[in-house]
Copies of this chain bind each other. A is one copy, B any other.
Amino acid sequence: MAGNQEHKLCMVPGPIEFHEDVLTALSTPSQSHVSPDFIPVFGECFGLLRKLLFTDKGQPFIVAGSGTLGWDMVASNLVEQGEDALVLNSGYFGDSFTTCLETYGAKVTQVHAQIGDRPTIESIHEALSQNTFKIVTITHVDTSTGVLSDIKAISELVHKASPNTLVVVDGVCSVGCEEIRMDEWGLDVVMTASQKAIGVPPGLSILVASERAINIFKGRKSPITSYYASWHNWLPIMNAYEAKRPSYFATPPVQMIYGLHTSLKQITATSLEARFEQHKKVSDAIKRTFDELGLKMLPKSLDIAAHGMTAAYYPEGIQAPDLLRKMLAHNIVAAGGLHRAIASKYFRIGHMGISVVESERKHIEQVLDALKASLHELGYKKA
């Protein structure tokens, strides 16, 4: 069996720690992408993703690529040249999504928030009243800041104020650890990557589109200006595999999909509500510890903080890489900052997936113990 023995715990906000069964699935011996063994495995992933996102008719896309490819899918399939997009920007990933949308010809308006904050409902309402947008994009959890957006409230607002606007959620750091009810909340696209709370190594771009989004795609007037990201190429393939028929556009990443299937089966085998609740509970406990240690977190208040990661400034007197190095010596891999404006000033830890729901692994205790010990060794005293 593939194992996790004797490796440093990877407690960054993705890639997360992977279950042994997922790692074993990754090393499935070679199989043809059109073999009768593989087809039902791929085929089942679609239903499992729908279950995870509480959607009946959402259309999943599972494609070899990084999470970033999901932006290309949104920008190239759903927005036509010169159409307007509204980006709700809560950090690094809002900036990058903007660049991607503009690459495909969208005219982007951004609602910015201060670092550690998210656009207010009022500012979003104001923006929606000034133009008609084809899509609005929300970074559910900005992995650079750990800020959580209220996608339910925003979607409600968009549907009221601008009923034809598609609601697009970048769920890279939220799918699998934050509650997302696609149908009930009226979300049109939820995209993610395999290596976060879905618990599979990086290499899969995963996206679910609503019926409404698929219809908008089908009704496009202009051709799609990407080949690899075009749903014209992928939709027939996804439909074929779900119907347990082989089909070919590009060779699907067989072993990665075995890993995905294994992880999605695990995730959906128990109550999703309990899963999200557990992520909240563990996150609250971690953030309490950070508070007690006197570490200032990036999100300006607890109610807008993500539940799968925690980002905090280095305390006075502690130099940027020292804390990470010390933690590494304690066998914990944590992450530095990512937001360009303050990258050297803060660090991040991830707490998603098996590290959270399989408490017997004691990952959370280990990361907090390592943090405390590292701070102590660096001579840190709470102010």
A251 to chain B, nearest CB (A): 4
Docked complex Cα distance between A248 and B14 (Å): 13
Q: Report whether B17 and A227 are in contact in the complex, using a CB–CB cutoff of 8 Å.
A: no
- Given A24-B2, A203-B255, A249-B68, A29 and B12 contact (CB-CB distance below 8 Å): no
Docked complex Cα distance between A225 and B66 (Å): 18
Other than A35-B333, A64-B66, give 8 A-B pairs with Cβ distance below 8 A.
A5-B29, A8-B31, A10-B35, A18-B29, A64-B69, A66-B250, A72-B227, A100-B227
Docked complex Cα distance between A42 and B18 (Å): 20
Grouping DSSP codes into helix (H, G, I), strand (E, B) and loop, the A interface class, with mixed when no group exceeds half, is loop
Most B CB within 10 A of own CB, among A16, A24, A202, A252: A202
Taking a contact as CB atoms closer than 8 A, the residue among B3, B34, B67 that contacts A251 in the complex is B67
Query: Which A residues are closer than 8 A to B by beta carbons?
Result: 2-5, 7-8, 10, 12, 14-18, 23-24, 26-35, 37, 63-69, 71-72, 75, 99-100, 103-104, 193, 195, 201-203, 205, 223-230, 248-256, 333, 335, 338
Docked complex Cα distance between A32 and B17 (Å): 10
List 3 tightest A-B contacts by C-beta distance, closest first: A2-B27, A203-B253, A66-B250
| Residues on the B chain within 8 Å of A30, using CB | 4, 7, 10, 15-18, 201
Taking a contact as CB atoms closer than 8 A, the residue among B10, B103, B203 that contacts A230 in the complex is B103
Nearest B residue (CB) for A193: B251
Docked complex Cα distance between A192 and B45 (Å): 27
Nearest B residue (CB) for A199: B30
Q: Report whether A227 and B75 are in contact in the complex, using a CB–CB cutoff of 8 Å.
A: yes
Docked complex Cα distance between A339 and B309 (Å): 49
Q: Report whether A66 and B251 are in contact in the complex, using a CB–CB cutoff of 8 Å.
A: yes
